[in-house]
Amino acid sequence: MTSTAENSTLDWTTAYGYIEDIDDGRGYTGGLVGFCSGTADMLALVRRYAGRAPSNPLAPYLEALTAIVAAPYARRAKLSHRLLDPGFVPAWRAAANDPAFRQAQRDLRDQLYWAPALEAARADGAGALGLAIYYDVSVNHGPGEDRESFGGILRTARAARPTPAAGGDEARYLAAVVDARAAVLKEWGDLQPDGRVAAHRALLATGNLGLVPPVSWSMYGDRFTVPAWPAPPSEERGA
């Protein structure tokens, strides 16, 4: 579901080589979960990749990525182009064919975004739709406890409504999570009428908290339907 927001596709496995500047102030956005040159996760990814494959196509850009993250946040988008152009984008796309880079993306995705979302969803008693919402918030807002980050958004929601684990109504609690996230996106100027919040509100309105297929939703004007949840690809299973 998050892949439809990040890459406009249900097939997230096609996103390893995705990279562009989407003009959100974070520099280049690339890969499975939108690792950004203007935040620390793209640097962490390339470092992890270099640990697996020191002579990889992205290794020459480690110094530049480090300098970008060390700069004041407002300067990072422009600095990304100044220090990374013109070779970084083709190098990223070339690296996407390397199993070591693909594994590094999956590992960092799980560490930074999936595992915290899964742990929090289990602790709060949230089901499949709740986990999908948690994961999307985790990816889009990043880890942290400030009110704009994943932990802070959950804290705001928990203050507004009891979690299912605490005896609260699951749908009402998840609506509070979506509302807390919407408030942050509105402050960012990024609350789009056909975006992530609208999709999650529409799914909540169906009452299908277990995401029992078929499941359909709209994201940024595109319609997606999952008739049955597929098995993870062999690469994801480690086969």
Residues forming the active site: 6, 24
| DSSP codes joined into one string, 71-91 | S-GGGHHHHHHHHHTTTHHHH
Q: What is the SS3 assignment for 17? A: coil
Nearest-angstrom CA–CA distance, 86 and 205: 46
CB 135 within 8 A of CB 126: no
Neighbours of 123 (CB within 10 A): 11
Which residue stretches of 71-169 are H helix?
A: 76-84, 88-95, 99-109, 115-124, 128-141, 150-160
Residue 69 corresponds to which tokens in the numbers above? 């993250």
Residue 222 burial class via C-beta count within 10 angstroms: exposed 0-12, middle 13-18, buried 19 and up: exposed
Close Cβ partners of 40 (under 8 Å, ≥ 6 residues apart): 69
Helix axes 62-70, 40-52, angle to 10 degrees: 160
Nearest-angstrom CA–CA distance, 115 and 113: 6
In this structure, which amino acid lies at residue 137? Answer: V
